[in-house]
Amino acid sequence: MGLNSHLDNKELEELEKQYDSALQTRDNGPTLTKLVYWATIAFALYHLWTAGFGTPVDHVHMGIHLAGLFLFIFLSFPLIRTDQSMTYGKGSLWAPGNVPLYDWALALTGMAAALFLWVSWRGFTGMGLNIPEQALRQGNPTGIDVFFGTMLILTVLEIARRTIGFVLPLIILIFMSYALFGPYMPAQILKHPGVNWQQFVNNMYFPSEGIFGVTLWVVSTVVFHFVLFGVVAQRMGLGQFFVDNAMILAGRYTGGPAKVSVVSSAFFGTISGSSIANTVSTGSLTIPNMKKMGYPAHFAGGVEAAASAGGQITPPIMGAASFLMAEYLEVPYTTIVIAAIVPAMMHYIGVISIVHFTAKRLGLDAYPKEQLPQFMKVWRDGWFTIIPLVALLLVLFSGYSPNMAAFIGLSLCVVVGFCAFNKPASLVVPFALLGFIFWKASPYSGEGYSPEMAGMLAALTILGCLHRNERQSFRDLFDSFHVGVQYALAVGAASAAVGIVVGVINTTGVGFRLGFMVTGGAADMAANLAPLLDWTGIETFSQPSIQQFLSLVLIAMACILMGAGLPTTALYIMLVAVATPALSQLGVPPLATHMFVLYYGVISEITPPVCASAYAAAGIAGSNPFRTGVSAFTLGLGKLMVPMVFVYAPTMLIVLPEYFTITSFLQVSITCALGVFAIATAVSGYFLARLSGVWRILMAIGGLFLVAPSSGSDLTALVIFAPVIVQQLAQQRQERATA
C-alpha cells in the first residue's frame, strides 16, 4: 500500500513515551530495571488472578495495590525531572540503581503505611506495641495510626505530583487547608468548626472514605484491569484491526484520511482508557496520511486529538469512568452504556462533519481505491483479534461483574494472541481457561456462569486457538503487561490522591457550600440581566431560566479548569464530588449530573493551554501545539454543547423513564444532530458552496437554536436558515456554470 497503515508495537511504545509523561521513567540500570520489570508482571498477574478467583477484603487489596504504586513510582519517577536524574550513571552508594536513598526510604515508608492496616486490622501485640483491633480505633486512632496515616497522605500527594504534575496536589492541599482551618475562612458561608490533624488522619486513613474509599477500591478492582485490557488487546492486534476497518469504512469518501482518523479513534476509544494512547496509536498512521493528502498540519493534529478525546466518552469503557459512575449511582453498568450512546454520537457527528466540509473547501479527495485494504483480507487476517472484546462485552452485558468481564477479556487476549498448537507449552493457558469456565458453571463455584454463558465462552476459547495467523511470544505479552501497569500508575496515583478531596467534602460539606455559592452568584448575575431581556416576553429569558443557564456555564467552566491534565477516572471522581451538589440544587437528575461533569472534565484534554492529547498530536504532526489545541477544541464543539442538551432534555439519555418518550427523544436527538451539523458548516466555512461573512454567522446561530431542545427554537432556526440555503443554492449554480 502506498500509504502507511501498519502499527508497530515497538515504534508505538517509543512514541507513547515521547508524548505521555506517565511512561517517561528514569533509567535504573540493568539489574534494577529487570527487577522492576518482573515486579510489574507479578503486579499485573496478581490483579488478573483476583479478578477471576476473588478479591481479598477491601483494606488488604487496596493496601497491596497502593504498595505497588509506591514501589514503582518512587523507583521510576525522580523527585525532579532532569537529564541527569533520568539517565543512569555508574550508580553510587547514595543512589543504588540510580534511585537516591531518600526515594528508597519514601517507597518503603509508603508501602509500610499502605500495608499497616492489613497487619493491624485485628490488633497487634509485640515489638513494644499494643494496638487494639481497627473497630476500636475508628474515630480514636493510636499514635502509630497517626504516624502511618500522615506518611500515607504525604506519599500519596508525592506520587500524584511525580506522575501527573503539581496541579492536582495543589488543589488537594487547598481542600486539606479548608478542612483544617475551617473557622478562619474569610467568607461566612465557607466557615465550619474545622478538624484537628488526628481526626483528619482518621478520616483519610481508615477505610470507607478518604484514601481507602470507594475511589481506590473501584480503581484497584476494575479500572486497572480495563487499562491493562486496552493495552494488551491493542498490542495483540486489535488496534491494527480497528484501523484497517476504519480505512474500509471511511477511506473511500471525501477527505478520506481524516475520516479514517475519526472512525479509527472511535473504535479504539471503546477499549482504551487513555486519550494520549489513542492519539499516538491511531495518529501515528492517520496524521502523516492527512498531511500527505493536503490537510494543514495543525488541522490534522486537531482532528486526531478531538477524535481520540472522544474515546473517553464512548461506550462501553469510557476511559473506565463508566464503572465508577455505575458504582456511584448504584445502577446497572448497562444503564450507563445506553445513556452514553447518543451523546457520544453527537460528538463524532460534529467532528466528522467539520472534517467533511473542510475537505470540500480544500478540494481534498478520498484515498485512491488501490490504496484501501481489502475487506475479505482484513477480516481473514484479523477476525480473531475481536474475540476477546466480544467475550468481554458478552460477560458485561449479561450482568456479571466488570472485573470478571476483564478477567475473561484478558485471558482470551492471551489465548488468541500468544497460544497455538505449534507451541504446545502455551496450550496450558486455554486448557486452564476452559477448566475455569466449566468450574464456574458447576454447582461447586457458588454463583457462577449459566450453561449458555459457559458454552459461548468455551466456544470462543476454542475458536481463539484455531486461527492460523502468527502468534506473538510470551515476552511480547509480558511487555504489554509492563506497559499496561505503567499506564495504570498515573491513574492509580491520581485516584488515591483524589480520595482526599472526597474525604474532605464528606467531612466538611464544602460541596454543598460551593453549590450555594455558584447558584447564588448566578442568581445575582441573572437579576442584573433579566430586566434587559424582559421586553422579549420569551420564557427562556426569564430570571429563573437565566440563573439556571449561568449556573450550568459556571459549573462547566470549573470542570474544564479543574480537569486540566488529569486522567479521566481521577477528574471524574473529583468533579462529581465538587459539582454534584450544585447541579442537584438545580433539579438536574443524578445520571445527567454525572454525565455533565464527565463531559466537561474530558473537554480539558483538548482545551488550550493544557491539552495533553492535542500536544501529543502536534508532536506527531510537527505543528504548533497551541494552534493544534485550538483546532481540536473547535472540532470538539459538539462535545461542548451536548451536555447542556441532556441537562435540559434528559430524554436524550434514554434510560430515565420519567423523561423518556419516543417522540421527545427523536425530536431532541435529531434536531441536536442537525444543529451540530449546521455549526460544523459554519466552523469549516463550507456547505453547498463556500460560506463566508454573515452567512457563516447565520449558520452558527441557527445551529445553536436547533441544538437548544425546544420546538420554538427549532422553528426559529428554520427561519434563520432559509436565506442561507437560498444563497448557497444560488452560489452553487453559479460555481457550476463557471466551472
DSSP for 523-546, written as a single string: HHHHHHHHHHHGGG--GGGSHHHH
Final residue in a domain of this structure, among 208, 233, 255:
208
Residue whose cell numbers read 494552534: 627
H/E element, 701: helix 693-707
89 within a domain of the structure (yes/no): yes
119, three cell numbers: 497487619
Give residue 98's region: left, alpha or beta (phi > 0; psi -120 to 50). Answer: left
Residue 163 in any domain: the answer is yes
Half-sphere exposure of 52 (CA within 13 A, CB side): 20
Residue 250 lies in a domain: no
> What's the domain range around 728?
675-739
Q: What is the pLDDT of residue 9?
A: 65
Q: What is the mean pLDDT of residues 287-314?
A: 84
Task: Tell me the C-alpha distance between 361 and 76, whole Å.
Answer: 48
Using one digit for the tens of pLDDT, what is the confidence trace for 659-680?
Answer: 889 999 999 999 999 999 999 8
Residues in the chain: 739
Q: What is the pLDDT of residues 600-620, one digit of tens each?
A: 888 877 777 767 778 888 888
Distance between CA atoms of 627 and 620, rounded to whole angstroms?
14
Q: Which of 370-384, 427-441, 600-614 has the lowest mean pLDDT?
A: 600-614
pLDDT value of residue 3: 47
Query: Is the per-residue pLDDT at 592 higher than 50?
Result: yes
Element (H, E) at 125: strand 124-126
Average pLDDT over residues 71-90: 84
The least confident of 99-103, 368-372, 589-593 is 368-372
* Residue with cell string 466456544: 459
Grid cell digits, residue 26: 528514569
- Does 31 reside within a domain? yes
CB 409 within 8 A of CB 397: no
Alpha-carbon separation of residue 141 from 136, 144, 149, 204, 561 (angstroms) = 9, 8, 10, 11, 36
467, HSE (Cβ side, Cα atoms, 13 Å): 21
| Buried/exposed code over 429-464 (b: 16+ C-beta within 10 A; e: otherwise) | bbeebbebbbebbeeeeeebbeeebbebbbebbebb
Q: Residue 275 domain-assigned?
A: no
At residue 45, the pLDDT reads 95
Residue 68: pLDDT band with limits 50, 70, 90: very high
* Number of domains the chain is built from: 2
Residue 537: what pLDDT?
56
d(CA 733, CA 739): 10
Residue 600 is assigned to a structural domain of this protein: no
Where is the domain boundary, 208, 236, 263? 208
**127 vs 197, residue with greater confidence:** 197
Write out pLDDT tens, residues 133-167.
877 888 888 889 999 999 999 999 999 999 888 88
pLDDT attached to residue 458: 93
Residue 539: predicted pLDDT: 58
Select from 160, 180, 208 the last residue of a domain. 208
Task: Give the residue-averaged pLDDT of 387-413.
Answer: 88
Average predicted confidence (pLDDT) for the chain? 84
Lowest-confidence range among 43-52, 560-569, 598-607? 560-569
Mean pLDDT value across residues 327-346: 88
For residue 535, tell me if it sits in a domain: no
Own/partner contacts of 720-729, CB < 8 Å, gap of 24 or more, are 721/678, 723/698, 724/687, 724/691, 724/695, 724/698, 724/699, 725/688, 727/695, 728/687, 728/688, 728/689, 728/691, 728/695, 729/688
Task: Say how far apart CA 581 and CA 514 lie, in whole Å.
Answer: 8
Question: Hunting for cell 456479571 — which residue is that?
Answer: 400
pLDDT of 478-508, one tens digit each?
988 998 898 888 888 988 998 898 888 878 8
Q: What separation in angstroms does the CA of 596 have from each of 317, 516, 614?
A: 17, 18, 22
Residues 355-373 have pLDDT tens digits of 888 888 888 777 777 778 8
Residue 378 belongs to some domain of the structure: no
Please choose, from the candidates 77, 65, 66, the residue with its C-alpha nearest in 3D space to the C-alpha of residue 21.
77
- Based on its alpha-carbon atoms, the radius of gyration of the chain, rounded to whole angstroms, reads 27
Stretch among 270-274, 682-686, 693-697 having the lowest mean pLDDT? 270-274
